[in-house]
Amino acid sequence: MKTILTECKRVVVKVGSSLVTNHGEGLDVRAIENWAQQIATLREGGCEVMLVSSGAIAEGMQRLGWKKRPSAVHDLQAAAAVGQMGLVQVYESCFSAHGLRTAQILLTHADLADRERYLNARSTLSTLLALGVIPVINENDTVVTDEIKFGDNDTLAAMVANLIEADALVILTDQAGLYTADPRKDSSATLVGLARAGDEKLEVMAGGAGSFIGSGGMLTKVLAAKRAARSGAHTVIASGHEADVLPRLMRGESVGSLLQAQPLSLNARKQWLADHLQISGEVTLDAGATQALCKEGKSLLPIGVIKVGGEFERGAMVAIVDAHGKAIAHGLINYNATEARRIAGHPSNEIEALLGYVHEPELVHRDNLILL
């Protein structure tokens, strides 16, 4: 661990609901004071830190006297609106005790799916870090719907790590890290100290649900590590109950599970493409087009398409699959679903005759495509 985390200059730290709310019993001010102290130590060492914090809905539930997490969207939105006030208040107070300023950033997936809003969010976070401010980031649960939500703050934290090109993502939870099996059910389970982010075996190990307070489990953390690795960020999954866990990690101590990213990372535009969570349709390719995309680095032309599924508009993100249904890429399509069906299987020089116009000769240009 020492050769990796000790060199980190920019870190995203994610704390889960069970940590900041004392397992749902309202905000744990003492715990938040502890995070502020640890992050202040990292800042003194020259490390830029962004904090992704759960807890708004859980705090809202406590303030509203709700014992069970609601399922109705409007109830969740109301709880988030109430709880966000307390969450921000406490963070501002705790960080100011160390002479640090904070900023609240609320995001939805729509903010990062739109290229212009993505770049605006990136610029804002970069400016805040340059000013020495600690961004406190959360999903905008007061307005979010299933269509535009990240789903959990583990995913959000990974996308923030990609957005701002962080060196590391630290996911703090109420577990010691990733185990080979669920230690609550299997006494032979052992802690995974070091592994490669994206290794499919980790997803098998991490299967299972989270607590009733939060929305994520160990699987979401493993998938978050896989996502963060696309921009070269390493991920640590560790217990937030460990004393001084953040400074110890940055000093190179082995705490929790380190899921290491591979050296190769995506450029900024490809990373933005990879971070689209919502897929609007599906395009099925023949063997020749699959070869052209995967092996030859070509754009997707309509002649290689054998089927178009779903309804979508021009510019939507679609899944690109081979003839056996295996997903091989995601891309921004140049034609809507009706148009794509009409030109599928035809060479590009026939597009104008078929549609009466030509947007682009490619169905999906290589620059707007990311291989999976």
Percentage of the chain modeled with pLDDT above 90: 49
Q: Mean pLDDT over all residues of the chain?
A: 86
Round to whole Å and give the CA distance between 119 and 370.
19
> Any residues with CB less than 8 A from the CB of 240 and at least 6 apart, and which?
15, 16, 19, 31, 172, 173, 174
How does pLDDT run across 192-216, given as a tens digit for each residue? 999 999 888 898 888 744 433 334 5
**CATH architecture, range 2-270:** 3-Layer(aba) Sandwich (3.40)
279-371: which CATH topology?
A: 2.30.130
pTM, full prediction = 0.74
DSSP 120-140: HHHHHHHHHHHTT-EEEEEE-
What pLDDT does 265 receive?
Answer: 58
Query: Token pair of 78, please?
Result: 């109301």
What pLDDT does 266 receive?
Answer: 63
Q: Could you give the residue range(s) of every CATH 2.30.130.10 domain in the chain?
A: 279-371
How does pLDDT run across 331-344, given as a tens digit for each residue? 889 899 999 999 99
Do 11 and 52 form a contact (C-beta atoms < 8 A)? no
How does pLDDT run across 130-139, given as a tens digit for each residue? 999 999 998 8
Round to whole Å and give the CA distance between 66 and 59.
10
Q: Could you give the residue range(s) of every CATH 3.40.1160.10 domain in the chain?
A: 2-270
